[in-house]
Structures are given as structure tokens and as C-alpha cells.
Structure 1
Amino acid sequence: MEKALKKLLIISPYFPPVNAADMQRVRMSLPYFADLGWHAEVVTVDPNYSDLAQDDLLLKSVPALITVHRVKAFSKTLTSKAGLGSIALRSLWFYKQKVNRILKNEKFDLIYFSTTQFPICILGAYWKKRFGIPYVIDMQDPWHSDYYMTKPKNQQPPKYWFAYRLNKYLEPIAIKNADGLTSVSAGYINQLKSRYPVIKDLPAAVITFGAFAPDLQVAWHNRQRFPSLLADEFFNIVYIGRGGRDLHQAISPVFETFKSLLERNFEKFSKVRFHFIGTSYAPAGQGTATILPLAQQFGIEDYIIEITNRIGYYHALLTLQQASALFIPGSDDPQYTASKIFPYLLTGKPILAIFNRASSAIIIMEEHGVQNVYNYDEVSPAHLLLFFNQLVNNAFDTVKYRADAVKKYSAMEMTRAQCRLFNKVVEAGH
């Protein structure tokens, strides 16, 4: 007789077809939960209430048997005037009502919050008290953070004053009552356990986003749907992801070395183009460039293309596959871990990566066998000269990453790690 699956209710305000980075863990895990002993259902916000880009191709990887519950949200045009524009705050009341109905009618073993829309997590404490169901929070980013406190106002996120105080109030409600934590960074977990001693023995696991190879095939097979952002006559170095001044420390040595190469051999190196794509979270057409001003300081702005608008997930994966080489600059925040590295690795393209010494991304990339990965205290002009020369001379070796690392960081293995923690939490409650 087959053992009954445990039931998992996943709270993810963003979900396909919405193209949001923080729903990727859920999307990539759904195909594997059942084989690992869990029946998963998702509660998300109806995409009509989101102002993020949508990509119908994201739905292709969602198993047909997965139940997806959708909730409403207050209109952003009404709530943003009061500083409540985030989808978490707009949907909070609707989430409470919807999940109350679900939990009255069905028994779930665990609730899993996997999102960076953290205010929604306070409902975990409410549902735990009302229905006796444990919950786990996935810390993909810091929630309440002092990182921007010492930054000039023009470097702080919009409405930072309000968000900082709201997060300071809400975080302890959700975290102190949680039954487990997952995180992309050990630093995030350590910080929370230090801040709230009551959770020092809480089950926790550091789990990066997994590498989901089927996505690259979907992108390539649908390439005719996407306009090309790269010109064939250039050596195109591509980075896709958010921008920001916190990346400048990683980018500056690259720009400085490139400028010196232009001065030495203009004919050869003037064929190089850097593409920084999707650098702003602002609505299309409203983003502020944060990389191009740095290029202007070095006088190389003619070779730098910054597109602040976000592009679709599969458009991004296709563009990575069309690049000559890929560049991943890391934040100066030591806790920052770039979950985006796995699509880069799956492309098999040459990679230049520069991170804070403390970033876990360095270890992961070294495990795969990436050659040009450095921390920005040690990256030297010699390292960068070698990279650029290999690029313009088409001299990169065929990229083949270590099979054991590829398997270790696959989406299936990352889902297995999540389920190990879920089992631990549920068993602790019995």
C-alpha cells in the first residue's frame, strides 16, 4: 500500500505567468514534490493585479495536476497613494480570507512562504494559532535590513523610510513563530537567529535556487518569439539582472581594464559590447540607469548598453545563450548570493564573475569549474586581460562543468533539500 503524501500549502504572491524572480524556486520545485512525498498546492495573487511583466511560457513547466488557488488584491492606484503599493500589502486581507476557507475544508501538514513579498508571512503566525499548522519561511533576501540606513537618500529604495519601519515591526511577528527557515544564504539565517534568540534552535537549511535545464530548451525552441538584443558583428558580453551602485565595486575593475585595452588596440577591442539588461525594478520606461553613469566616468559609454526595462524570463535565457560571454557582478553586501548564476552555468558559455569575498556564489562556481571567478579584493588586471584576449581571439576552451556539481545544484536536488527540512519540521510537531 502506497504511503499517503503529506500536504503542503505554498504561499507565493507571484506565480506564472507573472515574470518575478522570487517565484522561481516554487516553479522549479513543483515537478518534484510528489516524488519526494509531498502533495503541493499554491495560493497566489491573480496576475491581473500585478504590474510585473507576464510570460505565458512560464506555465509550460507547471505540472497540470498542481492546484493553484488565486486571490484578489486591492488596486494599486488606490493604495499606492498611502504608500501601500506592494502586492503583499494589497493582497493581505484577501489571502487571509481565502486560506481560511481552504484550511477549514482541507487538512494540510505545512504552510510554506516562498517569496520576497515578506509582509504576507505574518499570516503564518495567525494560521498556526487558528489551525495548528506549522509554517516555514523561505528567506530569499533580507527582510528587515540596516543595509541602506547609511546610504544617501538617492541610493535608497523608494519609500524606504516607511518600508524600514514596517519591516522592523512585522519581521519579529513572523519569524519568532516560524517552525523552520530556508534561505539562499547562511548569512540571512545567522542574522535572524542572532536577532531573535528564541529561534536559535529552529530547523533551518541553506538552499540555493536550483538549475532547471528544461527552461533553456523552452527558450531556444521559442526563439522566434523574441527580438534579438545583440548584434552579430560584436563580441557581446551579457549580464541580465538588477543594477545598482552596490555592483560598482565588481564592475569598475572590468571597465578600467577594458578602457586600457581600447587605448592599446582600438581596432580589436572596439568590437566588444557590454549589455546590462533589466537593471531596474521600475515599470517599463521609468527605470533609472545605474551602470551607464559608471561607464561614463571611464569614458567608455559607447561600448556599454544598459536596458533598464525587465525582459521576459525566456527572452533572458535566450539572450544568455546568444551571448559571446557572460558577466556576473556581485553586490558589495557580503550576504548577497546571486541565485541567477545557475541559468548562466547551464548555457555553457564562458563566464567572468566577480563577487564579494564572503559570497557563496564563489564557492558554487568554483565547484562547477568556472575559471574566471574572483573576489573583488583579488581580481587583477592580468586576470581581466586574459579574459578579454580569449574573448576577441575566440580562444575560450569548450566549457564543460563538473557533473557532480551540476547534479548537486539541480532543481531536483534543491527540492529534495526543501523536503528534508519540511519532514523535519512536521516530525518535530508530532
Structure 2
Amino acid sequence: MFKRYVCNGDCEVYFSKFFDSLEEGFLLNEVICGSDGIPLDFKILELNNYFINMAGGSRENIVGKTIKELYPDIDTKWIDACGQVASSGKGMQQNIYFKTIDKYFKVNIISPIKGQVIIIFNDITDITDIMKANEVLKKHFILFENAKDIILYINADERIIDANKTAVEKYGYSRVEFLNMKLQQLRHPLTMKDYQEQMEMSSSYGIVYECVNVRKDGSSFPVEVSSRTTEINGELVRIHIIRDITERKQYEEKIKYLANYDALTDIPNRGFLMKQFKKILEQSKRNKYKFAVMLFDVDKFKSINDLHGHNAGDEVLKNIAKRLQENVRKADIIGRLGGDEFLVIQPFIKTKDDASNLANRMLDYVAKPVQWNNVNLDVDISIGIAIYPGDSDNMKDLIHNADNAMYFTKKKGGKDYNFYITE
């Protein structure tokens, strides 16, 4: 009866047309197992047009091939599942991802006879979209939680709606505490004057800026903030990626310091000293002030290096700089020109007596012996002094004249000072 009324006597042709008309993929396979009985692959015995279109190619090029030949990157767990159904006869449902065509399918796996499986593929776009969305969310969460930078999500009311693990570690607040806070509470009060403008720029086209943030314990640290506003589920959300730049700022300060200060003595180096000299000169010209330029070096410094080594010489220079810093006025400027040569600028003097008083104090400060490896090193200096504006009105000549006066002191035996005398 079935053959007469349904198949018209040719059931094979009927079922072939039937399966080709299905809106699901149909695949009849023979499971290929290894010597240990573990499924390794499966060979395609029959398929319908849907699967041909899905796989690409023709029936002749697909039948007889294994699924790994068609999809080399297929998940081996799926082959294991087909093997279980083929051996047990118990069907199952699964979701499977084909990387080659970037699509998920809901599949039904059944076994008509032992060792074979029929797989029916349902192409449900929603499954693909949901699975892809879940993958994106999973990757986002991993990045969000493991980012070295602080990441905060802020809503239109300036409230924090999410904070990552680094934010918890850096600020000291728990996630629950963050959800009851506004972004402004993390900013140092002195940076708030720029806050509104920065947030407006974030809303417009994004902004990167530096400011200072405050931890729960009240301590502060410098940060670099990358802020951009985006729409999530119809709501405007501002994303802040915040980097702790404490180390960078310390490094920048160190570079700045080394550019201006002598590494050995921690007093201004020649470059910075000349900048300060220039400022004093300009102020004195405007306000008609006098100032003294004192140039000095260490008497018999070469002998100290030759007898006790350069480390001993370095110790002498460090002691000289320290003693001068501790005993001159804050307004006085001390710097190292190089080697054992130092320069002192004494601004706002009235007469040469002011310079003489400082020179005598300097001789006293420095004259104390420096201890080095249980040896007392005797230290004396020779000072030359030039006065602005009487001896010159420019930096070059003032230094040159002070230098001449210093060498005159040395010729007389050192341990003293002399003013420049016009020849």
C-alpha cells in the first residue's frame, strides 16, 4: 500500500526527493573508530541538497569524504558525541559551530543502525547570534577583569555602574562601594575645576587627560585617563580607562632633576646655574641691584686624587657642596661648573663688605677636614670675586673676571679670597 500510494513503487526516488525538499540539513554517516574503539571521524554516506549548499561543492565530491576532510577545524567533542550515539543507539541534541562558515547549528543525532548516525541540522539564526554575543561578552569580561588598567563604567548621572578588579585593588573600595559612588569622589578636589569640560569632551569625541585620583585611605596618585562615551542598550555610558602613572611621573621628575642638578653633589649643574645667573642679571638690571659672583676651586685637589684616589676627591666635593648649602642664605645660588670648580651668586648686596663676609664664612665652612678611610683630608679653597655692575654687566665677563681674581688668590698661596681689580 505504501509503495503504491506514496512511493508509486519507487521508494528510493521518493525519499531522495523528500530529503532534498527539507529545510534542514540531512547527513547519513558511518562512524570511523580506531583500534581501541574510540571514534576518530565519520564518513559521509548520504546527504541532502541543504547540506550540499551548506558545505559547498557537489554530491559526488562530498559523499565518501570524512567530516574532517570537509571541516578540518571541527570540534572533536562533536565526533565523540556521534560515536556515543552510534554505539548506544540513544539520540541526543547539541549546538555545533562550523568555523569555516561562521555559523552555529542545532543538531539532532540519531542512529538507525549500530555504527551509523543520521544528523539533522537546523540553521537557527538566533542561535548563531546568541552564541556569538555570548562569546563577545565572555571575551569582554576576561579583558575587563584582567586588564592592568582601571576600567570604570559611568552612567549619565555620573554614577559608577561597574568597576573591574584593578579598580578595586588600586582605590581600595569594594565593588559594592563603587556602585554607591560618583566619579567625582575619586578625583582630587584641586582637579575638579577641569572636570566639567573634560566630561563634555568625552561625550563629544573622547578625550585623554591627566589628573590626580584619591584612594579610599585618602592618599592620592597621578593618573592618565582615556574617556569616551558610547550607547549601550539605548543608554549613554561613559567608559573610563585609567592608568596609574606614578612610576612615569617619578621617572619624569628624575630626568628633569638630572637635567638640572649635578649627579655627584646634588647642587645645580652648569646649565641650570647659567639659567639662574641670567635671571639674577635681568632682575638686577631692572631694579638696579648689585650682586657678587664668586668662583672658587679646591686647593691642591689633584694631590688628593693622586694620593687617595678619585673616590676620595668625590667625597671632598660632596662635602663642600653640603657645607655651603647648609650655611648660605636661601637667596644665594650655588652650582658646580665642573671638576672641582664651583660658582656662588650672592644677589641683593649693598657693598663689597657683604661679599667679603660671605667669602670669609665660606672659607670657614670648607676648612674643616673631610674623613676618608680613617684619614683626615685637609680642604681649602681659593675664591675670586667680581661685582655687578662695577666689574661687568654681562655673564661672560663677570665669570671671566671672577676667574682671574681666583687665580690671583692661588698665586698668593690660596686659602683666601680676592676681588677682581681692573688692570
TM-score by length of 1: 0.20
Q: Relative contact order (alpha carbons < 8 A, sep ≥ 6): 1 or 2 greater? A: 1
Q: As a proportion of its length, which structure holds more strand?
A: 2
TM-score by length of 2: 0.21
